[in-house]
Amino acid sequence: MIETAIDVPLPVHDELSAPYWAALEEGRHVFARCSVCRNAWLPPRRECPRCLEPAWTWETASGAARLISWVVYHIAFHPAFKGRLPYTVAIVELAEGPRLISNLVDVDDPERLQIDQPLRLTIERERDVAVPRYRPETC
């Protein structure tokens, strides 16, 4: 049987998220910061999730983050990820506050991951798209 390569699904780019993806192409990970209450968040949305004001700007993240939670996939729920098993999906909190779901990379032993573990941003390419991923910070 000949197995056909299946592409990994890519994130959706829309008018609101286009600057986010463009910044990653330039090597920057950005998040939204409310101009009124200073709340910071991801993913981008039109209003601040705290005060509902539609006034906000993009800020560049430092790249420092911590591990909130994670799961190690041993089964591919999409055929394109079959060749990556096992892989780690995590909830990551940026030093600036926003949280996102990402992948952890360069994890030698997933059994040694710890809540609050320091992480560092690494921007990788998924087909033609720059995506934010995180690796455990080495002290």
Q: How far is the CB of 101 from Zn ion (least distance, A)?
A: 22
Q: Which residues bind Zn ion (CB under 5 A)?
A: 34, 36-37, 39, 48, 50-51
If DSSP codes are grouped into helix, strand and coil, which group holds residue 47? coil
> Considering beta carbons, is residue 24 or 42 the nearer one to Zn ion?
42
> Considering beta carbons, is residue 55 or 80 the nearer one to Zn ion?
55
Q: How far is the CB of 97 from Zn ion (least distance, A)?
A: 12
Q: How far is the CB of 44 from Zn ion (least distance, A)?
A: 14
> Considering beta carbons, is residue 98 or 136 the nearer one to Zn ion?
98
Q: How far is the CB of 55 from Zn ion (least distance, A)?
A: 8
Torsion of CA 115, 116, 119, 125, to 10 degrees: 50
> Considering beta carbons, is residue 51 or 89 the nearer one to Zn ion?
51
With 0-12 / 13-18 / 19 or more C-beta atoms within 10 angstroms meaning exposed / middle / buried, residue 49 is exposed
Copy the structure tokens of residue 5.
């390569």
**CA-CA-CA-CA torsion sign (108, 79, 27, 97):** negative
> Would strands 129-136 and 87-94 be described as parallel, antiparallel, or unpaired?
unpaired
